[in-house]
Structure 1
Amino acid sequence: MLSTRGESYAEAGLANGYLGPPKSLFNKDNKAGVVSFGNAENFLMQDVILEYIRTQAAPGLDPTSLTYHEGPFGSRRLREAMARLITTYFHPVSPISSDHIVFTSGVTSLNAISALSLTDPGDGILLGQPIYGSFNGDLCVPSNCKLVYTTFQGDDPFGPNAVARYEEAFLKARDESGISVRALLICNPHNPLGRCYPRETLEAFLRFCQKYQIHLISDEVYALSVYDDDDSGFISILSINPADIGVDPALIHVLYGMSKDFAAAGLRLGCLISQNQRLLQAVLSISRFHWPSTISCSIATAILEDQNFIETFLQRSRRLLRSHRDLATKALEEAGIPYAPGPIAGFFLWIDLSKCLDPTIVANQGEWEAESHLSGRIRQIGVEMSSGYAYHNEAAGWFRVIFTVDVETLKEGLSRIIELYRSSGGSS
């Protein structure tokens, strides 16, 4: 009935998580409801951004917001406003103009477009472990590329020595599987580990990409959600001068959007920042099929042009992120639940529930089957979380907790997890 391509989309089931009846979520009036730690959104700041949209952005809409306007890639005014934001907060070494920016309907779209533009079917994209789980669907289904995952085997994935692990994975894919790796994709800040790459590691990534002439795609969607005390953790790949280390700037690309830092996933706006003119031409063409709403573009323009609002918004957001991170880590530490060290960015903690894995299932069916069973138990206690398997973790039993929910929901979800941990033989 379908083409091969159509069958691959039907089999992928990329919308399955959104199907089915609405869940009965936990709130003050529904104490037995489900605590959702599933979607990484900054629910803490949604009221603030919504009030701004209602009172400041929406009244400024004009008839052009109901037209095709300047095309499918964002108006020049929007791209200029984003260029100012990038210049202010990302500290690029080369001037960023509107001509270096293309908007689409979200960073998810950009993932697909990047894979379509940079890989042929069967080519590879290199990633570390763990990593955002939906990259598999975003990248592979549209383009039929292959993802090549890097294991670190105890090495710090943020240290410069980790580049040797990436090179091992690259060479193994090339020499043993015949996969031509065309790009390295990193999350900086990292999802789900909540850390930022130091400058020396980013420079090592750039040298590695130059050595093998592969692209470096830096997903920086959490760039302004860094909440460490001195706000010094995030270094954009744009802030490193490629000429100083002999790297071709045409290999460097950044993905950014409004979903995370601006608590506005519903706007569906993401942008590519690149100085590779041929790639930009490709993305401009493909953007016709990923056209963002002109109303969303108008709202985003109003937000991005209000620099006083942005600074106030980000300061408040960082305070709340740090406060909720502290609440969650304190509860986990008191319960003896380990979590990945050093989280300073994003909306999540990567927690270790491996002590809850059923040893009989591990012995008879393996650790990943045991993790699947544990995921079922977690759903039974009314908590939703992404699992280590979904995020290509090296070991089973790890899960992602979202702490950017209201305090009552966060406490309830953590208490359910802690009770499960203790009942499964974990520390008290």
Structure 2
Amino acid sequence: MPPGILTLAADKVTLSPANTGFMLICSALVMIMTPGLAFFYGGMVRVKSVLNMLMMSFISLGIVTILWVLYGFGLAFGTDKGGFIGWNGDFAGLAHIGLTELWGTSTIPVYVFAVFQLMFAVITPALISGALADRVKFTAWALFIALWVTVVYFPVAHWVWGEGGWLFELKVIDFAGGTAVHINAGAAALGVLLVVGKRIGFKKDPMRPHSLPLVMLGAGLLWFGWFGFNAGSWLGNDDGIGAVAFVNTQVATAAAMLGWLAYEKLRHGSFTTLGAASGAVAGLVAITPACGAVSPLGAIAVGVIAGVLCAMAVNLKYKFGYDDSLDVIGVHLVGGVVGSLLIGFFATGGVQSKAKGLFYGGGLDQLGRQAVGVVCVLLYSLVVSYVLAKAIDLVMGFRVGEDEEVAGIDQAAHAETAYDFAGAGGGTVGRKGPALGEALTKKVDA
């Protein structure tokens, strides 16, 4: 994600109403991804904890928004401090930013860039929540979000996208978040899992999705919002690069869905709706870093490879014994790694930058840069996330009690249930229940 669209020094940059409106729409699209993620994850859990799963995403909208305004934007995109972090006092509280002050050399206001990036910051910790379904305290999770975005997401966003960030200066390509969002969240999920452990009944009790229609709805909202996520990351579309990112997003997602379903059919004998939804998300994840570097044909390759490899990776939790409830590691960590590394093979050198991958005559140079970005973000997020989760666990306990976990977190944490069947059948049955029951019994006996 560039800090601004590059222009010639002689050109006078002015605010573009078209690009500003476009970026506000893209920001709204990225925002809708967090509720979409909530539905996607919520449909995959059991009935007894669906509300908790929804709330684990929604609470990120509240916490991260406030922290972003207070200091997050300044840490992520302020003036570089040694390549690791940024800071700009004018960004604190967004208090000293002019209404039409432009972001860098782009044609959009700082306020627009700030709110667009805010939506990325919101959804990234929400992604982690899927790995922890059914078993963590809501208060502990809320505290983890606040600490994690402060010491992990804000610095990593600066490394990758902030001018002066060390991965930015290394020319690691991450168009819209393969490292900063997906590898970051996937590695964090693994770090927290090492602290909280497995669900009661893991590998023994059935833990099937309670509502596949909700899963499909969530996947559809994610797919829809992802166009803003990717196409908006060029901060405008004066040169057509945003349009290429949009096309590649659609193409790779379609290819990944087909790749996942093909693998699933060969391995398990069925085309499942859960597989279709998961495959689509895997494609979205993988193309995120690459959508400004590859051609549509390259996007097909990225999608198919990611779809198959992520479908294979979700089974690793049974082999290695970690309880990644909703496959955050298998989809987001693996998909982010695959998409980031494949740039080193499929970058054409003709879209966002002149960097070429191995298959386009660029040798191994860009692949090496991508590998450095992948490994460093993964290890930093894994280690720091583990330390944060361990500290929270020691201070207040990260996990709910056994009785609450078995009964379901919804009642214990939120005093609600997702579905109320007490009035099933309505008033008619209430008034004429016995007669209707006798009539149905006679019909069945007949």
TM (normalized to structure 1)?
A: 0.27
Richer in strand (by share):
1
Please tell me whether Structure 1 or Structure 2 has the larger radius of gyration of its CA atoms: 2
Richer in helix (by share):
2
